[in-house]
């Protein structure tokens, strides 16, 4: 059996200079570009801005999507959605750096 990918994230409020607590995060996955997204689970960031409890994407997942509900931390963006490719057996850490009128994501370690 092929190992699944794993995904983690955290959110930093760069305007406040601290982690963004209480951000709801939804993880969805799909097996190919043309297949629909399936919600796999949700979690909420803790006081450190970390999101424990996100499930592993199902075996065969090629893409993962993280949807962040950031309305509490941004007057402009009610949500941020990030979709990315995953490789079975690899860990994918995707932090969100949030400011009032912009955001950035990257693949971390």
70: burial class by Cβ within 10 Å (0-12, 13-18, 19+)? Answer: buried
Q: Quick check: is 58 in a domain?
A: yes
pLDDT band for position 107 (cuts 50, 70, 90): very high
Residue 39 sits in which domain range?
6-105
**What is the arithmetic mean of pLDDT over 1-18?**
89
Q: Quick check: is 18 in a domain?
A: yes
Q: Quick check: is 51 in a domain?
A: yes
Q: What is the DSSP letter of 29?
A: E
Q: How many domains is the chain built from?
A: 1
- Would strands 38-44 and 24-30 be described as parallel, antiparallel, or unpaired? antiparallel
Q: Quick check: is 1 in a domain?
A: no
pLDDT (tens digit per residue) in 42-80: 999 999 999 988 999 999 999 999 999 999 999 999 999
CATH of residue 84's domain is 2.60.40.180
pTM: 0.94
């Amino acid at each position: 059996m092929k190992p699944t990918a794993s995904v983690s994230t955290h959110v930093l409020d760069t305007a406040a200079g601290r982690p963004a607590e209480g951000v709801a995060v939804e993880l969805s996955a799909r097996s190919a570009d043309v297949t629909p997204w399936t919600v796999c689970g949700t979690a909420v960031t803790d006081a450190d801005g970390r999101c424990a409890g996100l499930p592993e994407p199902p075996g065969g997942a090629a893409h993962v999507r993280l949807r962040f509900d950031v309305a509490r931390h941004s007057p402009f963006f009610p949500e941020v959605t990030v979709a990315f490719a995953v490789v079975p057996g690899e860990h994918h850490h995707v932090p969100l750096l949030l400011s009032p009128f912009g955001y950035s994501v990257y693949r971390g370690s």
